[in-house]
Amino acid sequence: MTIAWQELVAGVKGGNLRALARMISHVENRDAGWKDAMRAIYPETGRTVVFGITGAPGAGKSTLTSKVAQGLVARGFKVGIVAVDPSSPFSGGALLGDRLRMQEIATLDGIFIRSMATRGTLGGLCQGARDIVRIMDAFGKDIVLIETVGVGQDEIEVVRAADLVLVVCVPGLGDGIQTLKAGIMEIGDLFVVNKADRDGADEVVSDIQAMLEIAKKDEEPVPPVLKTSAVTGEGIDSLINWLSERREGTESVAAESADRVREEILTLMEEELFHHIRLQWTGNGALQAAVERVIAGKRDPYSVAEEMLSTIRHVEPETVEHGKQGGTRR
Ligand SMILES: Nc1nc2c(ncn2[C@@H]2O[C@H](COP(=O)(O)OP(=O)(O)O)[C@@H](O)[C@H]2O)c(=O)[nH]1
Ligand SMILES: [Mg+2]
């Protein structure tokens, strides 16, 4: 199938919703020509501020995300949502629940919602999220909210695609903070204690504040801790205020840091190399032959892998259609 990439790219830049959805799917599938298409939109990107919203399952991330998105739209922002669904067979219900809760706003003007599976994403979860964010950015979104569960390594990787991270905690999860993956406290720019309508919210706030004080580095301000309740509406406005202030006041946030660019280039190179290695070795039968020799007890996997790697001298890049240079951003 040949994809009408130019049409899609033009559609995305022109604010066409159908083109936006289709381009995201084709890029996510890594359909032939995806990189040229990303290159074509790259100069149009760099405006969107990306907020990662992470926390334990059931903390209220989806509920908060939809409330906050609606509040931001009411203030004139164009908002996109990326929902990273846990696709474990045990949480099939959660996935559906997320979709249903999100459905409520999927049709609201100015909000585009995209779900992403956590497993089997070509190119990795973080790069996948980054690609989607860029396409939404070129489409004209001012803000993208990425909702992700903060419990697994893959999920934490996703927040590397975010400019600022909100960590959602709740009372009544025992030691709520401990259920989050170690390392998540360090990445929070804002802590939200949700379900403040329940007992114990103030204790969780103090616990987090104490923890942040201990972890505090000189010069750096301690991240704020907000209390919210989707039931009573408490704190939702303050949360929306924080987000819109950060959207407005931090033009440099969206600028890519050297670390981030370095990491992205490496990720893209790894993806490409891996793709070529697979194609080459499955295509020419060398892999199958090696498998047979190992199974027959004639070789071991270690030396086979080493031998095969030593045959790589040069990896041709994917055919470049236009031969043009990628642009710089506006
Ligand atoms: N009592 C109370 N329940 C909430 C609040 N926010 C969300 N919930 C409920 O908590 C459950 C999980 O919410 P959800 O947004 O799906 O959590 P997620 O897994 O973090 O995305 C749902 O039944 C929500 O209605 C809140 O502030 N207070
Ligand atoms: Mg959710």
Question: Whose CA is closest to atom 9 on ligand 1?
Answer: 60
**Are residue 193 and residue 271 in the same domain, yes or no?**
no
d(CA 257, CA 193): 30
**Are residue 23 and residue 122 in the same domain, yes or no?**
no
Q: Calculate how far, in angstroms, residue 61's C-alpha sits from the geometric centre of ligand 2.
A: 5
pLDDT given at position 238: 97
**Are residue 185 and residue 282 in the same domain, yes or no?**
no
Q: Which of 255, 290, 321 is the last residue of a domain?
A: 255
**Are residue 231 and residue 267 in the same domain, yes or no?**
no
Question: Whose CA is closest to atom 7 on ligand 1?
Answer: 60
Q: What is the CATH number of the domain that holds 249?
A: 3.40.50.300
Chain centroid to CA 24: 13
Report the domain count for the chain. Answer: 3
Q: Which of 120-124, 220-224, 320-324 has the highest mean pLDDT?
A: 220-224
pLDDT given at position 251: 55
**Are residue 119 and residue 142 in the same domain, yes or no?**
yes
Mutate which of 54, 63, 237 for ligand 1 pocket (most atoms within 8 A of beta carbon): 63
Return all residues near 222 (Cβ < 8 A) that are at least 6 apart. Answer: 209, 212, 213, 216
Name the residue range of residue 70's domain.
46-255
Q: Worst-scoring range by mean pLDDT, 3-17, 112-126, 132-146, 266-280? A: 112-126
Band (pLDDT 50/70/90 cuts) for residue 100 is low
pLDDT, tens only, 107-123: 666 789 888 876 666 67
pLDDT given at position 133: 95
Q: Which of 201, 225, 255 is the last residue of a domain?
A: 255
Return all residues near 258 (Cβ < 8 A) that are at least 6 apart. Answer: none
pLDDT given at position 104: 56
Band (pLDDT 50/70/90 cuts) for residue 148 is confident
Using CA atoms in the order 237, 251, 41, 278, what is the torsion angle rounded to 10 degrees?
-90
Ligand 1 site, CB within 6 A? 55, 57-63, 97, 101, 194-195, 197-198, 229-231
pLDDT given at position 253: 46
